[in-house]
A and B are shown apart, each in its own frame.
Chain A
Amino acid sequence: MFVARSIAADHKDLIHDVSFDFHGRRMATCSSDQSVKVWDKSESGDWHCTASWKTHSGSVWRVTWAHPEFGQVLASCSFDRTAAVWEEIVGESNDKLRGQSHWVKRTTLVDSRTSVTDVKFAPKHMGLMLATCSADGIVRIYEAPDVMNLSQWSLQHEISCKLSCSCISWNPSSSRAHSPMIAVGSDDSSPNAMAKVQIFEYNENTRKYAKAETLMTVTDPVHDIAFAPNLGRSYHILAIATKDVRIFTLKPVRKELTSSGGPTKFEIHIVAQFDNHNSQVWRVSWNITGTVLASSGDDGCVRLWKANYMDNWKCTGILKGNGSPVSGSAQQGNPSPSLGSNIPNLQSSLNGSSAGRKHS
């Protein structure tokens, strides 16, 4: 891997989240300076900040993009106990020329009584829907029934998790065999708190979310959680960031064997557990095909985990800071492209054999 670009972030305070849009051509950053910035990638590959505005009255913890089927829509959540939905307005041609765009607030979600710690849009096949979770232990699911009118959002569900929540993840599977599902992680550190990872499933009959599973083996505070994209598997894969990195599979037990009408029962297996970070793991996230998991921890590294063709998980890459300052101009990254070799010795062993030899 190599650093292709370095972009001066220009926030006045700590950045808490960075988020690519669906196509990887726009990104959003949010910060303790209470603002969100949107960056656009030009044809030449340079990134420019096309919008920067104050979004909340407290640190902004997370920012996330809706699926482009719904237009250019962002959601943010903050310490100020609110979450907000933003839409880009196609500006006057002057603005376009200056490379600026405008984002307007479509709605503020004020139901939480405490810091809102995560906000995530639901998979697109569920319509324009999002979930928030708060330190008050409640997951709230909102829906905008009219995609063309983003100022109308209604609170559809309130799920009480009983513990302070830190993260949520929607199951991206759009298979008809799977009901909508959401996983919730808790970073509650009190020793009595048992259910650090809970999984809720939507029931078509009751029209409510009901608890389907609790991962009992996860007893330490959970900082992040992520379902993997589903490549047509019948089972689900869930990654957890806690005192280590854990990957679970959840295999739905056939409905005939359970009482019909209740939530699905799952066979839960842990397929990997890594403590390489040697410290708390704070973020986990899957690549778009669900073949590589990235995690970052207190040790200052981002680690990449991959399963080989025999389904064994290993660490295949590490990103870490080297402490040296970045050179001034910043945009263009390092090496010009080359057919690389991971092992420098390969080159020297080649130099012995090919043209580079003495003609004595």
Chain B
Amino acid sequence: MEELDGEPIVTLIPGVDSKKQMCFDWGPGELLVCETSFHKKGKSETVPGCPFIYIVRKDVDVYSHILRKLFNESHGIFVGLQRIEELTGKSRKAQLVRVSKNYRSVIRACMEEMHQAAIAAKDSTSSRQFSSQVSILSAMELIWNLCEILFIEVAPAGPLLLLLLDWVRLHVCEVDSILADVLGSENPSKHESFWDSPGNTQTLTELELKWQHWHEECERHLQDGTFVSSPHLESLCKIMLGDEAALLEQKNLLSNWYHFLVTRLLYSHPTVKPIDLHFYAQSSLDLFLGAKSRPEPLDNILMAAFEFDIHQVIKECSIAFSNWWFVAHLTDLLDHCKLLQSHNLYFGSNMREFLLLEYASGLFSHHSLWQLGVDYFDYCPELGRVSLELHIERIPLSTEQKALKVLRICEQRQMTEQVRSICKILAMKAVRNNRLGSALSWSIRAKDAAFATLVSDRFLMDYCERGCFSDLDLIDNLGPAMMLSDRLTFLGKYREFHRLYGDKRFVDAASLLLSLMTSQIAPRSFWMTLLTDALPLLEQKQVIFSAEQTYELLRCLEDLTSGRPEQGEPDQQLQDDDIEATKVEMLRLSLARNLARAIIKEGSLEGS
């Protein structure tokens, strides 16, 4: 089996001395290339001049704004085709032909826009470029149309020629109309009646018979010398008899060999069967080109189609067109027609997937077209998912909106590792820029407990330094996310404590404060702060902490002060110790007083 071969494409990098070596690196969508010298020495000997760094890209087409419409609309058709409910039999064929026609109309629309751009272009270079793009799109449509007739519509003998006639007419319209005029004026009745009802009321054999009669009549006229007086009419008659030499004499009216082919078939073998097509195609090509010309890529593609060699068509198109758009969509459609398998190509679905992966990968180098690429990957059963994973995590998260878009796509596909990674990247970026609220929400979305703990610690440190919280909205509305990490839970609950206090719900606040320590949710390093927070509650007129609770608080305090080898610097420690000692004393006093009041209150008749 032949592979996709062809000579490697050479890209020249202006400015690089062809004798110099180059170092390089891959980016997600491009290559970084730079002049260097690989023969390392410790010191450089000569200063070779300041080189340039080059960014090299492929998939140039994704950057054209007119083609963008082509990509967008064909994406819609592609996805529709994958999701469409498969009909059976004739309806299925009609379904597929409709899809094919949709693709072609999208190509034609793009051609038209490109053509307008060529006309409107301000300078000759862009005008030329647009025009050449029109030519290429035209070639694509030509090839696609032929493939539709031969492979998808699978026209049987008889109608086949009609379709080919339409095909040629569509692409070679002017000349055909001239010929038609000429022909029509000579033998109107015979001509028209022949074509009036092709196959609707007659069987193929009836048609053949009729045509044979007509053909013989023409021959007789020729032989009888009916047209001897007019060489023009004579050559016309010869043409209608399918005389190749006569046809070739009118070569300048026939723009190419496939026009010649169809014309020839029209007059010599109107009921040509598909399997015989290639024979006439080859001879038409040979006759038309003559000895001196060689077939060009487009000729080879069309010839392969006439030979019903789908693989060859795809292969030649892959080489001829620099963008995978055409072969990817066409191959996918042909695969849906079950054509790739039926031709016993053992790489059948692999080729479809290979081409779709190539095309989709190319889309990912574009800042917005990558979203189309996602759907193409979705319909590649073997490597689509992993390819999407690799591509999507490289998308630059330049705005929050883009990040959310990317995350949604990953979440929809249960790409949990990518979600985690992207959120982590954003969380880290936020932490480094000291945007703690943002960091926290990304950590939560990443379900990254460790990082959530880290950010929570930062929040708490912040609070200790400034005496207030930043990003209160976020912390207040954590909800179940609070459970992600103990530290985060503590942060949420601690904030809740402040809220309760602010709402003057002192008893609730007190219970919460105590539970933060007894449940071990509060980090030890924070206990002093918590106990200090308890002070205002202890100093209130009414007794808030019960005796029981006060005992607990005392126990916590003892716990804290007893097992306490600080790991700080010795000097700092001494200083801290002084402050600490004072605080501890104050707390002990407060707690003792509260205890006394609580016992009295609980012991007396009103208390309970």
Binding site for B on A (CB under 8 A): 1-20, 22-25, 27, 29, 32, 39, 43, 47, 58-59, 61, 68-72, 79, 88, 90, 115, 124, 148, 223, 229, 231-232, 280, 282-283, 285-289, 291, 294, 296-298, 300-304, 308-310, 312, 314-326, 330, 333-343, 345-360
How many Å from the CB of A205 to the closest CB on chain B? 26
Instruction: Give the docked Cα–Cα distance between A289 and B390 (Å).
Output: 6
Residues from chain A with a CB closer than 8 A to the CB of B38 are 223, 280, 282-283, 298
CA of A10 to CA of B34, assembled, Å: 12
In the assembled complex, B21 has its CB within 8 A of some CB on chain A: yes
Q: Which residue of A lies closest to B454 (CB)?
A: A148
Q: Does B391 contact A (CB under 8 A)?
A: yes
| Minimum distance in angstroms from A151 CB to a CB of chain B | 15
The reply to whether B432 and A24 form a contact with Cβ atoms under 8 Å apart is no
Question: A353 contacts B24, CB within 8 Å?
Answer: no
**Is the pair B4, A353 in contact by a Cβ cutoff of 8 Å?**
no
B22 with A13: CB separation less than 8 A: no
Which residues in B have some Cβ–Cβ distance to A below 8 Å? 1, 3-6, 8-38, 40, 42-44, 47-48, 50-58, 60-64, 67, 126, 129, 132-139, 142, 171-172, 174-175, 252, 255-256, 296-299, 319-323, 347, 350-351, 353-354, 361, 383, 386-387, 390-391, 394-398, 421, 424-425, 428-429, 431-434, 454
Given contacts A20-B26, A294-B24, A321-B16, contact A5 B61 (CB under 8 A): no
Q: How far is the CA of A4 from the CA of B58 in the complex (A)?
A: 9
- Once the chains are docked, how many angstroms separate the CA of A324 from the CA of B5? 30
User: When A16-B36, A322-B12 are in contact, do A300 and B19 touch as well, CB less than 8 Å?
Assistant: yes
CA–CA, A322 to B15, complex, Å? 7
Alpha-carbon gap, A70 to B421, bound state (A): 10
| B351 engages A309 (CB within 8 Å) | yes
Of all chain B residues, the one with the shortest Cβ separation from A37 is B53
| Known A7-B52, A68-B425, A231-B383; further 9 A-B contacts with Cβ < 8 A | A1-B9, A16-B23, A20-B32, A23-B396, A72-B432, A300-B18, A302-B33, A323-B18, A330-B52
Q: Are A1 and B11 in contact (CB under 8 A)?
A: yes
A242 to chain B, nearest CB (A): 13
* Chain A nearest CB, measured from B168 CB (Å): 10
- B135 and A350 contact, CB distance less than 8 A: yes
CA A321 – CA B20 in complex, angstroms?
Answer: 8
Query: How far in angstroms is the closest Cβ of chain B from A255?
Result: 24
Residues of the A chain whose Cβ atoms lie less than 8 Å from the Cβ of B4 = 308-309
Are B391's CB and A288's CB within 8 A? yes
A166 and chain B: residue at smallest CB distance: B40
Contact B26 A318 (CB under 8 A): no
* Residues on the A chain within 8 Å of B57, using CB: 1-2, 4
By a CB distance below 8 angstroms, the chain B residues around A326 are 14-15, 52
Asked whether B297 lies within 8 Å of A345 as measured between CB atoms, the reply is yes
Check A320 against B16 for contact (C-beta < 8 Å).
Answer: yes
- A14 contact set on B, CB distance < 8 A: 36-37, 44, 48
**Quick check: B36 and A294 within 8 Å, CB to CB?**
no
Are A308 and B61 in contact, CB atoms less than 8 angstroms apart? no
Is the CB–CB distance between A318 and B15 below 8 Å?
A: no
Given contact pairs A6-B53, A288-B394, A322 touches B13 in the complex (Cβ within 8 A): yes
Residues B322 and A288 in contact, CB atoms below 8 Å apart: no
Contacts of B26 in A (CB 8 A): 20, 285-288, 294
- The contact sample of 6 A-B pairs, CB cut-off 8 A, is A6-B53, A14-B44, A68-B429, A287-B26, A337-B61, A351-B135
Residues of A within 8 A of B297 (CB): 343, 345-346, 349
B8 near A316: Cβ-Cβ < 8 Å: yes
A335 to B64, CA, bound (A): 11
Q: How close is B206's CB to chain A, nearest CB, in angstroms?
A: 35
With contacts A15-B23, A310-B347, A342-B321 taken as known, whether A3 is within 8 angstroms of B61 at the C-beta atoms is no
Q: Chain A residues with Cβ under 8 A from B14's Cβ?
A: 3, 6, 321-322, 324-326, 334
Q: With A and B bound together, what is the CA distance between A69 and B432 in angstroms?
A: 12
> When A24-B394, A317-B9, A318-B11 are in contact, do A18 and B320 touch as well, CB less than 8 Å?
no
A6 and B255 contacting across the interface, CB-CB below 8 Å: no
B296 & A8 in contact (Cβ 8 Å cutoff): no
Smallest CB–CB gap between B183 and chain A, Å? 18
Chain B contacts for A285, CB-based, 8 A: 24-26
Known contacts being A316-B9, A350-B138, is A19 close to B18, with CB within 8 Å?
no
How far apart sit A25 and B138, CA to CA, in the bound complex (Å)?
37
Q: With A285-B24, A337-B60, A337-B63 as known contacts, state yes or no: A90 contacts B135, CB within 8 Å.
A: no
CB neighbours (8 Å) of A291 from chain B are 361
Closest approach, in angstroms, between the C-beta of A303 and any C-beta of chain B? 7
* CA gap between A166 and B210 in the complex, in Å: 82
CB of B55 within 8 A of CB of A4, answer yes
CA distance A113 to B320 in the complex (A): 55
Instruction: Give chain B residues whose Cβ lies under 8 Å from the Cβ of A338.
Output: 60-61, 64, 129, 132-133
Report whether A350 and B44 are in contact in the complex, using a CB–CB cutoff of 8 Å: no
B432 partner, pick from A71, A321, A352, beta carbons under 8 A: A71
A1 touches B58 (CB 8 A): yes
A12 to B397, CA, bound (A): 34
Asked if A90 and B433 sit within 8 Å, CB to CB, the answer is yes
| Residues of the B chain whose Cβ atoms lie less than 8 Å from the Cβ of A287 | 26
B50 and A309 contact, CB distance less than 8 A: no
Of the residues A18, A23, A32, A323, contact of B16 by C-beta under 8 Å:
A323
Chain A residue numbers with a CB within 8 Å of B44 are 13-14, 32, 59
The answer for the CA separation of A296 and B432 in the assembled complex, in Å, is 37
For B391, list chain A residues within 8 Å (CB): 288-289
Bound Cα distance A2, B60 (Å): 8
Decide if A350 touches B139 in the complex (CB within 8 Å): yes
Residues of B within 8 Å of A323, CB to CB, are 16-18
The answer, among B8, B298, B299, for a CB contact under 8 Å with A304, is B8
Distance (Å) between the CB of A62 and the closest chain B CB? 10
B454 — which chain A residues lie within 8 A by C-beta? Answer: 148
The reply to whether A9 and B52 form a contact with Cβ atoms under 8 Å apart is yes
> Among A16, A43, A301, A342, which residue has its beta carbon within 8 angstroms of that of B9?
A342
The answer to whether B298 touches A6, judged by C-beta atoms less than 8 angstroms apart, is no
Known contacts A282-B21, A318-B9, A318-B10; is-contact A310 B390 (Cβ 8 Å): no
Please give, as numbers and ranges, the residues of chain B lying within 8 Å of A88 by CB-CB distance: 432
Once the chains bind, are B320 and A342 in contact (CB under 8 Å)?
yes
Residues of A contacting B63 in the complex (Cβ-Cβ under 8 angstroms): 337
Docked-complex contact A319 and B56, CB < 8 angstroms: yes
B255, A353: Cβ atoms under 8 Å?
yes
**B322 to A341, Cβ gap below 8 A?**
yes
Across the A-B interface, the 9 shortest Cβ-Cβ residue pairs: A321-B16, A24-B27, A326-B15, A309-B354, A340-B322, A349-B296, A20-B27, A337-B63, A322-B12
A6 touches B52 (CB 8 A): yes
Give the most central of A25, A302, A315, A357: most B CB within 10 Å: A302
CA distance A8 to B395 in the complex (A): 26
Known contacts: A4-B30, A22-B394. The answer to whether A297 contacts B21 by CB under 8 A is yes
- Per the bound structure, the CA–CA distance linking A353 and B172 in Å amounts to 7
Complex interface: chain A residues within 8 A of B17 (CB) = 300, 321, 323
Residues of A within 8 A of B390 (CB): 229, 231, 288-289
Q: Are the CB atoms of B12 and A321 closer together than 8 Å? A: yes
Bound together, the chains give a CA A272 to CA B13 distance in angstroms of 27
Contact flag A320-B421 (CB < 8 Å), given A315-B8, A336-B126, A349-B297: no
Chain B residues whose CB sits within 8 angstroms of the CB of A79 once the complex forms: 40, 42
Bound together, the chains give a CA A119 to CA B299 distance in angstroms of: 53
Structural contact, B347 and A3, CB atoms closer than 8 A: no
Contact residues in A for B32 (Cβ distance below 8 Å):
18-20, 27
Chain A residue with the shortest CB-CB distance to B139: A350
Choice from A7, A59, A335 contacting B60 with Cβ under 8 Å: A335
